[in-house]
Structure 1
């Protein structure tokens, strides 16, 4: 039985996990706090984490009618992420583990995302994992738990970051991903030909900085935008971003002869991305694994599940557990 914490960015999350039949997953969003700034303010995020984490812990246990006496392991995200935010979760988890003499399991946030789609299903290795969020755009070959090969990554902006920046250019609300997804449903995705970064490069790397700049210049060129203009630009940008993710991921599946593809991270909640991947994977005979939408954004349940696959990492050496905002996933 695992009590897990994730405070990697601006969502405070606590989860109690035994198996897919007995769990709780509490997430406290800070979108309202950071929306006025158009992005996350690390100090404000950390302060809110500190204010809510104890209450959320109590709530996570209450929802499954459990107490601290039922907990066997504590798990916590140690990185990557925002340092002030990570420090709150790591300090709280260490204090709780020490006070109750419980072993603690450090978890890499990206590793949590990789295995989130398998929370309630069997894991069939090998599989390709596309992790797409506000801070990450990575394509991995996963041979087994702990054995990863990084095939490609963004060379500049993460795709979720590009969504946020384009939304800001268009005057849309924060976070930009859901806003663009919603607006795109009324737009024409073929009106503007938005470039696809590194489209013709043989590597599996991605680039979204140039796409953002193209949209910025397009908006400047058009001048006073109508509602139709904004919807069409949003739809065109979204199609471009999704297309390049789909094309490179499926090419990697074909090149490596891998029939299982998982997608995770906040951007995996995007409706066009999910629909396009489903359609293309069905045509290509690829088994697509998507997480439920509640496990796409940052959450402690994916941290708990990842830690359940790595109980050998548990330790009573609390001093060795430190927050690392630049933590990398060990890859071959």
Structure 2
């Protein structure tokens, strides 16, 4: 995979991607499939808008997307040396995500596609994460995906474009959410993940015996709400807590999360080998939590011990971005047919449709 600034190659597919599912406004231009290149990848964070609230406020996020998206798209095209005439299709996140933001990005993509006379591709945000390693590492199917982000924690079997099986998921908090809530409980700044990791470096991981939920049960499902509750209980017992206690709690919490993910990853390799005994397992780790050093080290160690391959795309492509959406759109465009203008954005959109009822559903659709 190459990252470069150059005029679009008319001999390849060139896709404009748009991502607005949470609090990043992003646009990118990607070319492929043979000469895989990110021609531009512009991301505008809303950190300052949400910092005072300790988390993402959906209404504020949607308004922020409206204010800057047209400029972000223009910048992405300019950096790629492209015009709308040069692109072959427009891909945009159509879900899952905060519905206000999803609507802003997807309707913008619809308008561009209609005005430019280009195909429209509705991309599942999770599929963007799932296929990123094919852009960065030219990865072949099948492989395992561990998606660890603020909103999702899932193990998936990735067999092909549009062919996914959810092997396990969190039954309560996603990992990123658990980190943010833990940080807030301990009086740490938002976003919580980096703050917890920073303090954990000076903490004693052995001081508090925090639980590793569900590890005594089969399967790959996970739970982090109980771990968070156990940490709160310890903190309450020792109030007022000093800086070292905060660091020790962060270290114990982070180690417990890493242990759970490593144990479930080893089990995922076993499941992979049961289905594909002649293929060496590969696990792709994506999502913002993939930036956590201790978690990455634990997963890498589990992979090495199992004789498996560990792949983590560059951090700029692990967190929410539009290059992954453009690439997923390119993969889908190759298979055809593309979406019509009647497709609607949605707040819920599981990758594995056959397993979509596991956690229930409602008016918004099946839960992810």
Aligned to 2:65: 49
1:30-49 matches, cutoff 5 A: 30-49=46-65
Unaligned runs of 5+ in 2: 1-13, 274-279, 355-368
> Alignment partner of 2:348: what SS?
coil
* Greater CA drift, 20-29 or 285-294: 20-29
What pairs up with 1:108-119 in 2 under 5 angstroms?
108-119=124-135
* Residue matched to 1:325: 347
Q: Classify the secondary structure of the residue corresponding to 2:126.
A: helix
Q: Which residue of 1 aligns with 2:219?
A: 203
Shift of 1:139: 0.6
In 1, the alpha carbon distance for the partners of 2:160 and 2:87 equals 27
CA distance in 2, matches of 1:141, 1:65: 37
Match of 1:138 among 154, 164, 169: 154
Partner of 1:260: 282
Partner of 1:300: 322
Residues 135-284 of structure 1: pairs in structure 2 closer than 5 A: 135-257=151-273, 259-284=281-306
More displaced 10-residue stretch of structure 1: 308-317 or 132-141: 308-317
SS at structure 1 position matched to 2:16 = strand
Q: Establish whether residue 15 from structure 1 lines up as the match of residue 28 from structure 2.
A: yes
On the 8 A contact 1:8/1:86 being kept in 2, the answer is yes
Contact 1:130 1:137 in 2 (8 A): yes
1:313: Cα distance to partner? 4.6
RMSD in angstroms over aligned alpha carbons?
1.4
Find the aligned partners of 1:133 and 1:22 in 2 and give their Cα distance: 23
Check whether the contact 1:117–1:263 (CA below 8 A) recurs between aligned residues. Answer: no
Q: Any conservation in 1 of the 2:261–2:299 contact (CA below 8 Å)?
A: no
**1:147 CA displacement:** 1.3
Matched, 1:3 2:16: yes
Instruction: Output the CA distance in 1 between the equivalents of 2:339 and 2:140.
Output: 32
Q: Is the 8 A contact 1:189 1:235 kept in 2?
A: yes
Q: 1:284 to 1:213 in 2, by over 3 A?
A: same
- The corresponding residue for 1:78 is 94
Tell me by how many angstroms 1:256 deviates: 2.9
3-state SS in 2 of match to 1:86: helix
Q: Distance in 1 between matches of 2:306 and 2:156?
A: 19
Query: Which secondary structure does the structure 2 equivalent of 1:2 belong to?
Result: strand
Q: TM-score, normalised by structure 1?
A: 0.96
Task: Please identify runs of 4+ aligned residues in structure 1 that moved more than 4 A.
Answer: none
Deviations 1:38-95 (A, max 9, x none): 1111010000000010111111111122122211100000000001111100111111
Matches of 2:204 and 2:339 in 1, distance apart? 56
What is the deviation of 1:219? 1.0
Partners of 2:194 and 2:292 within 8 A in 1 = yes
Change (3 A) 1:316 1:274: closer
Q: Which structure ranks higher in relative contact order (CA pairs < 8 Å, sequence separation ≥ 6)?
A: 1
Partner Cα separation in structure 2 for residue 277 and residue 154 of structure 1: 17
What is the CA-CA distance between 1:120 and the residue it aligns to? 1.9
Contact 1:106–1:313 (Cα < 8 Å) also in 2? no
Answer yes or no: is the 8 Å Cα contact 1:118–1:291 preserved in 2. no
1:263/1:290 contact within 8 Å kept? yes
SS of the aligned residue for 2:136 comes to coil
Change (3 A) 1:79 1:55: same
Structure 1: runs of 5 or more not aligned: none
Q: CA contact under 8 A between 2:213 and 2:222: conserved in structure 1? A: yes
* C-alpha deviation, 1:22, in angstroms: 4.2
